[in-house]
Structure 1
Amino acid sequence: MDKFVDYLKRGWPALLLIVALVAVWHLAVAQSQSLIFPTPGQVLAGTVELAQNGTLWEHIGASLMRVTVGFLLAVAVAVPVGLWMGRVDRVYHTLNPLFQILRPISPIAWIPLAILWFGVGDVAPVFLIFLAAVFPMIVQTANGVHTIEQRYLHAAMNFGVSRQKMFHQVIVPAVLPDIVVGMRIGLGVAWLVVVAAEMIVRASGLGYMIIDARNAGNRYDLVVAGMAIIGLIGLLLDVVMRRLEGLNSVRWRYGR
């Protein structure tokens, strides 16, 4: 009960701000008498319509599936590569320039090549999501290894700890906070890219739903509904990653 009250105390300013913005949105549409842009009530009605016929859950499930696959593939590549770069200077100086060249390239710029290589199925958006997530995680993981306090390594060497044990029991636990931060950044970027990635998908996903609603009869209530749902899911994903950052096993390097 105390935790719930604490959440309310911390969350009410944000809730009030959202309510105020929705009220301003409603008043602006009512005053302009727009026949195209929807009111909050029309957006809610469109969302209920999609939820009742099951279409909404299909699109959400498809988007989450693609983001999950692309993100997990990025984690599987980025964490080992980042640890390797952080521990071996020659590898870092070889790979880092390449990653710094590729990292600023927007995943959207890869769409023509993704279609050329993988067609318009599920593989192309997963590839784009992978590209969006992998580079932030590599950079953050390698940086985490570089910032490990030397006293941890010196203490382990003084006790005669083997290199393998040092890696698994000292380096990896010490760099976990940076890995999780990289995962949080990568997941946020991956979810951001999902709309653009799903523009090349045949018939599923929140991005496809937005484009289809715009093209099939100017259903801007469904366009805005899709945008709001993407934002809410992004918020939930960020909350989950923040909880992961707070685990004691993740933050042992920093004590309490």
Structure 2
Amino acid sequence: MSSFITALSKKGISLGLLVILWQLFASQMKPFILPGPLETLDAVIAYLGDPAFYHALYRTLLKLVISMVCVLLLGGGLGLAIGLRPRWKPYVEPVMDMMQSVPPIAWLGIAIIWFGLTDTPSIFIIVLSTTPVLYTNLYEGFVDIDSKLIRMAKVFQIPRGKVIRRIILPSLRNYLKSGMITAAGLGWKLAVMAELLTSVDGIGGLLSDARTNLDTRKVFALALFMAVIWNMIKLLLAFLFRGKTSSPSHFHS
């Protein structure tokens, strides 16, 4: 408990110093260029009382959730399959390299041509850009699995299904957690970017409106919301994938 309080106090000090620096810089500039914390807080309160903000947040989160489910199925499934069958890796690796090397903005241009100014381009670029992240994490997890346990399981003729349940999946839990958090973090930013560039409903759409109206206060307020919401998403993912990863010493059901 004391360590938690200490960590929390350190974060509070860091954020406090950041706010002080922010105010110092803002006091030397026009609010149009850099609004201060109080001006930004006014915009935050205004958004909290606006139903359109909650609708926009819902739209962005919905796209992220749909995308992460697709990434979990595609990237997680491929990572598990290639880990179990490494000889397939040369066939999958070029596709993953291409997905990872092409900038998301290029995929977005293609998606807009294919799907128009809808929600689909956001989901499309998130899935293409983050699937390799989860795939790579899980495959690296397979590399780090204790080979002695696998050999011991073969010697004792442990069924394949039990080896997967008792050794492989527990050993991959932390890699899955890390991969999902990294993919979701990238996906959150890509969702907002795609909405900003396509001006569809969502947090990015609100950013587009604020930019068009040259309302810097709202831009900063939305940036704060994005930071807070992402930290909440991160905590949720950490909770969903909680648990210690340990190599089992027995295989009984």
TM over 0.5: yes
Identity among equivalent pairs (%):
21
Q: Residues 169-226 of structure 1: CA distance to partner in whole angstroms, max 9, x if unpaired? A: 32222222212221121111111212211124444211111111110x2111111111
Equivalences, count: 249
Deviates more, 1:219-228 or 1:159-168: 159-168
- Residue 17 (1) aligns with residue 14 (2): yes
- Residue 183 (1) aligns with residue 180 (2): yes
Aligned to 1:237: 233
Contact 2:99 / 2:129 at 8 angstroms: preserved in 1?
A: no
Which of structures 1 and 2 has the larger relative contact order (alpha carbons within 8 angstroms, sep 6+)?
A: 2
Q: Aligned-residue CA RMSD in angstroms? A: 2.0
TM-score by length of 2: 0.90
Aligned to 1:165: 162
Q: Determine the C-alpha separation between the residues in 1 that align with 2:197 and 2:191.
A: 11
Question: What amino acid maps onto 1:48 in structure 2?
Answer: I
Q: Determine the C-alpha separation between the residues in 2 that align with 1:195 and 1:71.
A: 15
Matched position secondary structure for 2:101: coil
Aligned to 2:75: 78
Q: 1:102 to 1:132 in 2, by over 3 A?
A: closer
Q: 1:253 to 1:240 in 2, by over 3 A?
A: farther
Aligned to 1:139: 136
Give matches, 1:1-256, under 5 Å.
3=1, 5-215=2-212, 217-244=213-240, 246-248=242-244, 251-253=245-247
Consecutive unaligned residues in structure 2, runs of 5 or more: none
Contact 1:118 / 1:124 at 8 angstroms: preserved in 2?
A: yes
Consecutive unaligned residues in structure 1, runs of 5 or more: none
Contact 2:141 / 2:175 at 8 angstroms: preserved in 1?
A: yes
Q: Determine the C-alpha separation between the residues in 2 that align with 1:46 and 1:198.
A: 20
Q: 1:18 to 1:31 in 2, by over 3 A?
A: same
TM-score by length of 1: 0.89
